[in-house]
Chain A
Amino acid sequence: MKKTIPLLITFVVGLALILAIFIPPEPFHTMNREFSVYFDIIAVFAFILGGGNLIRVHGNKISRKKKDYKYSFVTLLGFFVTLFVGLLKIGGPPGIQGEVMASGSWFLFIFNAILTPLTATMFALLAFYVASASFRAFRAKTTEATILLLAGFIILLGRTFFGYYITSWLPDSLSFLEIPNLANWIMAWPNTAGQRAIVIGISLGVAATSLRIILGIERSYLGSGE
């Protein structure tokens, strides 16, 4: 019951979607389309589950007065205010009948004033850490490290005016050595070759894993309990 039914569901759904490719007529075509909507709907419930879990984790932290529990109030306040404002479409004309991101809505305000700067700055922060990490890691001690360093350096320079400036004196016959052209060539050929080798490997891995899941050989997603 606890494992057999989930395995059966996975088998039926997975097999139906594969069959839908080979048997286009109904009901497989509709099944393929509807399952995609079903998937999106369940994904929203996963967001709701995430929200519920967030409340539980931070609620526990507050009730047990764990380390830094005061910040959990900030998390919960941000969560509930955004949820309330968004679900009721507060502020935006014409209220509940309008778009959730309508101009003038409080939800859009939260998006512009809070979410956008926080997301962008979090990722921008990584620029400093990537730079400092690469300074330590990219010591050209081996051939491989040197190649990686050179490729990264050419790509970085090739996308800036400085890269164009330092090699702009080259004659037309040697224009392929100009750093922007070199960067374009690296992106178009060796980079594509490497990406392709990786992608082919991944696709074989995904196909094999998918088959293992559909056939019930791979069951780790069901957890270890009974």
Chain B
Amino acid sequence: MNLSPLELTINGILTLMILSFLYKDNPFYKFAEHLFVGVSAAYWMVQGVWQTLMPNLIARIFPGAVSSFLPDAVGKSPDYYFLIPAAFGLLLLTRLLPKGNWLSRWALAFVVGYAAGTNFVRYLQSDFVAQIRSTMVPLVVLKDSGGLDLGQSFSHLVLIVGVLSGLVYFFFSKEHKGTTGRISRVGIWILMVTFGASFGYTVMARISLLLGRMQSLRDWVEHLIGLF
């Protein structure tokens, strides 16, 4: 990404302001933190308005009014069904009113009903049935030459035992004692490997972001040196 000198300078100053928190909480950090809150709230609002509200709501209800700057609305006839989400959206805003804010529950009820209806099917299909299906792998894997593929067979064994023992660990209807306790202990070990791997990846991602910021600071310093 090629940034202009002004962008590079603001970029560098704000990066240093945030990093100053590593020393202690200070006015520079607070300034950057508050700016971040304001700018990001407006950014997502603007994106929502131009990417969703204009093409999907305004252009459908009042196509003539926005056809000058929304090509998709040209020649379309009004679709008054979209007054329904508009009404729900406006009801949601009643939450800001001192009286009658209970009306926002209607909009919330639509959102929650939508999420419940789609997630019920989606999760059962992709995260339950599909995951179980993917776990049904052969325990004995043969090589193309005909011999036993020890590595692959062991990996499949780890997968099956790992999933089953992990599930036993999450099964709280039976006390984790005796055989159940031993299996659930293996489940804990597998989960610890998962958490360790996730932790490793999180640290890597954060360090990669930090390197990106350092590169950006280096570009800014090079630019400053170039000025003199």
Interface residues of A (CB under 8 A from B): 2-3, 5-7, 9-18, 21, 34-54, 56, 68, 71-72, 74-83, 86-87, 96-97, 100, 107, 109-128, 130-131, 134, 143-145, 147-156, 159, 176, 185-204, 206-207, 209-211, 213-214, 221-223, 225
Contact = CB atoms under 8 A, between A and B. Distances in A.
Contacts of A13: 109-110, 113-114, 117
Contacts of B203: 127, 130-131, 134, 152, 156
23 contacts: A9-B109, A42-B107, A54-B41, A83-B46, A114-B35, A117-B18, A117-B213, A119-B36, A125-B21, A148-B196, A155-B197, A156-B204, A159-B200, A190-B158, A191-B197, A194-B191, A194-B194, A199-B131, A200-B163, A203-B128, A211-B120, A214-B113, A214-B120
Contacts of B108: 6, 221-222
Residue of B32, B107, B111, B201 most packed against chain A (CB within 10 A):
B111
Contacts of A47: 41, 44-45, 48
Interface in B64-94: 68-69, 81-82, 84-86, 88-90, 92-93
Interface in B124-180: 124, 127-128, 131-132, 134-135, 151, 155, 158-163, 165-167, 169-170
Nearest to A111: B43
A133 B164 CA distance: 31
A107 B95 CA distance: 29
Contact of A34 (B81, B86, B169, B201): B81
Contact of A115 (B1, B40, B84, B212): B40
Contacts of B192: 144-145, 147-148, 151
Interface in B204-228: 204, 206-207, 209-210, 212-213, 216
Contact of A151 (B69, B165, B193): B193
Contacts of A72: 34
Given A118-B35, A196-B135, A200-B131, A9 B106 contact: yes
A13 B166 CA distance: 35
B47 A100 contact: yes
Nearest to A71: B34
Interface in B48-63: 48-53, 56-57
Q: Which secondary structure characterizes the binding site on chain B?
A: helix
B47 A10 contact: no
Given A43-B111, A194-B191, 15 more contacts: A38-B85, A41-B52, A41-B56, A48-B93, A75-B37, A79-B41, A82-B43, A110-B39, A113-B3, A121-B213, A155-B197, A159-B200, A190-B197, A192-B159, A203-B131
A185 B206 CA distance: 23
A203 B38 contact: no
A193 B190 contact: yes
Contact of A193 (B22, B52, B106, B158): B158
A117 to B, nearest CB: 4
Nearest to B57: A41
B40 A11 contact: no
Interface size class of chain B, counting residues whose CB lies under 8 Å from the partner chain: 35 or more
Nearest to B135: A196
Nearest to B156: A189
A78 B42 contact: yes
Contact of A197 (B52, B155, B170, B197): B170
Given A124-B209, A125-B18, A151-B197, A79 B39 contact: yes
A40 B163 contact: no
Contacts of A42: 85, 88-89, 92, 107, 110-111
Greatest chain B CB density within 10 A among A44, A86, A153, A159 is at A44
A148 B203 CA distance: 14
A124 B196 contact: no
Contacts of B117: 13-18, 210, 214
Most chain A CB within 10 A, of B95, B109, B134, is at B109
A55 B163 CA distance: 48
B81 A190 contact: no
Contact of B162 (A21, A53, A87, A193): A193
